[in-house]
């Protein structure tokens, strides 16, 4: 492991983060709030970045350095991103929790009085979610020249999904394309919300939560605070869009306009949402006696929000029946599409596992048959199938282990299990104590550390972080 390379790149990342802190500083100035939290944050972050840049070296990168930079880069971003929260009076651990939740686009919060915090702090809280949605390392690659092979290592270590989405031969061009698409979708949502009567400030913050599949809200009632079906449908639409593989949008525009309809993952993603929404609509209509249109609006919004791991809500689903809540738990486990801003296991992994299971059943009847798993009419290499199986096993082990820790610390079983999956899957709210109208503030200290690790591990697709804790990783 060449630590000089790792420290040098982290220095560049922190310098970039310091520059982004200027934006909420401007928001604080506009609203007449204290500039101190961001002035100090900019100073500390930028100076640290420049100090680390002194470790510049021309030595060649290896895969280990790429994994270390991505994993430690996200950790460093969360640590330094917590400084404005600490300056706002939040305890260091809670500030770190909130910052990690933001950068990983999780949306789990320890704030119990959201509206009491300065607008600039809430803006920063939303903006780091937007930066983390597409990926801070991908942004770094897009604007930093001459990374070459090293850039590809970073890109692959950060981007979600079992395979790399290669749109252009040069990874920097691919990163640029993804960020341009991300920015265009973000811009369109802000315009749509403003046309629906939402202020620019609220439109930006709601966009930050939606397009990143993050879920932080400036209001305790989340999207329900707007009390508007139009805003709910706009939010649901853009959340659905953000849960799709962004590479498909590029291919649909420049390669084949029917790309989305031909893609098996997109069709499965859409079918799951429609099926879950239809069943949930029936359950809400049956349990609460609401009319079908209102039941459908509640169902489609929350199914999309939870499945894409956004976590925005319009009502407290803690009050729903167990069968209705079970639907949300299942879709939250699955998550969004690979290459999207959504978290979870990912739709494509579930789809490939189902195909693999079907193939194994076929082989049990026809042991001499030669048949592989296909996706979009292409054979899926056996090593990718094996990698997916390993990923799901490790994912489930981490989920169960963290839930067990929370239960040992005194949390009830529903809170323990849903807090675990809400953080590991980057969903946001869980149920019971950590429900949509609740907070993670009451989780014990050790439990918060476990959940912070869950968010970090889940956002970087397990392997990138887990590798840091293997003895082989540090061997020469």
Cα three-residue angle 11-73-145, rounded to 5 degrees: 60
CA–CA dist 227, 461 (Å, integer): 36
CA–CA dist 135, 179 (Å, integer): 9
CA–CA dist 403, 406 (Å, integer): 5
Q: Average pLDDT for residues 111-139, to the nearest whole number? A: 89
Stretch among 7-21, 74-88, 94-108, 172-186 having the lowest mean pLDDT: 172-186
**Residue 161's pLDDT band (cuts 50, 70, 90):** low
CA–CA dist 217, 301 (Å, integer): 15
Q: For residue 303, give both structure tokens.
A: 């199914």
CA–CA dist 336, 354 (Å, integer): 16
Contact 4, 104 (CB under 8 A): no
Residue 363 pLDDT exceeds 90: no
| 444-451 long-range contacts, CB within 8 A, separation 24+ | 444/409, 444/410, 445/93, 446/405, 446/409, 447/405, 447/406, 447/409, 447/411, 447/419, 448/93, 448/94, 448/97, 448/110, 449/93, 450/402, 450/405, 450/406, 451/97, 451/108, 451/402, 451/419, 451/420, 451/423
Contact 213, 340 (CB under 8 A): yes
The residue ranges of every structural domain in the chain are: 382-474
In this predicted model, what pLDDT tens digit does every residue of 248-298 receive, in sequence order? 999 999 888 999 999 999 999 999 999 999 999 999 999 988 899 999 999
Residue 208 pLDDT exceeds 80: yes
Cα three-residue angle 368-371-372, rounded to 5 degrees: 140
- The DSSP output letter for 439 is -
Q: For residue 445, give both structure tokens.
A: 């200290």
Report the chain's C-alpha Rg in angstroms: 22
Q: How far apart are the first and last CA of the chain?
A: 7
Q: For residue 99, give both structure tokens.
A: 């910052």
CA–CA dist 38, 87 (Å, integer): 8
Cβ-count burial 322-331 (b if 16+ within 10 Å, e if not): eebbebbbeb
- The DSSP output letter for 376 is T
CA–CA dist 379, 446 (Å, integer): 44
Q: How far is the CA of 168 from the CAs of 49, 152, 262, 292, 402, in angstroms?
A: 30, 12, 21, 46, 39
Paired strand residues for 378: 375
CA–CA dist 376, 363 (Å, integer): 21
Stretch among 87-101, 120-134, 144-158, 411-425 having the lowest mean pLDDT: 144-158
- The DSSP output letter for 440 is S
Q: For residue 50, give both structure tokens.
A: 């420049």
pTM for this prediction: 0.92
Q: For residue 336, give both structure tokens.
A: 């969004």
In this predicted model, what pLDDT tens digit does every residue of 437-456 receive, in sequence order? 889 999 999 999 999 999 99
């Amino acid at each position: 492991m060449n630590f000089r390379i790792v420290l040098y790149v982290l220095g560049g990342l922190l310098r970039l983060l310091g520059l982004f802190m200027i934006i909420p500083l401007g928001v604080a100035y506009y609203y007449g709030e204290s500039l101190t939290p961001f002035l100090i944050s900019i100073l500390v972050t930028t100076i640290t970045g420049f100090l680390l840049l002194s470790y510049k070296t021309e030595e060649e990168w290896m895969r280990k350095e790429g994994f270390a930079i991505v994993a430690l880069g996200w950790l460093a971003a969360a640590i330094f991103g917590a400084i404005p929260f600490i300056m706002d009076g939040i305890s260091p651990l809670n500030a770190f929790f909130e910052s990690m939740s933001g950068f990983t686009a999780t949306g789990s919060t320890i704030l119990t009085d959201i509206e009491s915090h300065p607008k600039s702090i809430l803006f920063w809280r939303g903006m780091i979610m937007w930066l983390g949605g597409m990926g801070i390392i991908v942004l770094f690659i897009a604007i930093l020249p001459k990374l070459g092979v090293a850039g590809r290592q970073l890109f692959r270590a950060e981007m979600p999904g079992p395979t790399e989405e290669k749109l252009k031969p040069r990874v920097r061009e691919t990163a640029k394309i993804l960020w341009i698409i991300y920015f265009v979708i973000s811009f369109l949502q802000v315009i749509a919300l403003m046309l629906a009567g939402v202020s620019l400030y609220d439109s930006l913050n709601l966009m930050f939560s939606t397009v990143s599949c993050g879920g932080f809200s400036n209001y305790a009632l989340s999207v329900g605070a707007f009390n508007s079906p139009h805003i709910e449908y706009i939010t649901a639409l853009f959340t659905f869009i953000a849960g799709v593989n962004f590479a498909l949008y590029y291919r649909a525009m420049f390669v084949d306009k029917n790309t989305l309809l031909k893609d098996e993952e997109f069709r499965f993603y859409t079918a799951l949402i429609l099926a879950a929404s239809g069943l949930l609509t029936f359950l809400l209509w049956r349990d609460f006696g609401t009319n079908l249109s209102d039941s459908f609006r509640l169902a489609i919004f929350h199914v999309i929000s939870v499945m894409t791991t956004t976590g925005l809500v319009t009502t407290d689903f803690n009050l729903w029946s167990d069968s209705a809540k079970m639907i949300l738990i299942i879709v939250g486990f699955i998550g969004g599409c690979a290459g999207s801003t959504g978290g979870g296991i990912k739709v494509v992994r579930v789809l490939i596992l189902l195909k693999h299971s079907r193939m194994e059943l076929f082989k049990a009847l026809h042991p001499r048959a030669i048949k592989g798993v296909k996706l979009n009419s292409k054979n899926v290499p056996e090593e990718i199938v094996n990698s997916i199986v390993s990923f799901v096993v490790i994912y489930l082990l981490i989920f169960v282990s963290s839930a067990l820790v929370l239960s040992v610390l005194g949390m009830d079983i529903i809170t323990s299990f849903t807090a675990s999956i809400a953080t590991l899957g980057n969903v946001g709210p869980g149920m019971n104590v950590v429900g949509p109208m609740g907070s993670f503030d009451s989780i014990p200290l050790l439990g918060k550390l476990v959940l912070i690790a869950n968010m970090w591990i889940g956002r970087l697709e397990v392997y990138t972080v887990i590798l840091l804790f293997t003895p082989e990783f540090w061997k020469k």
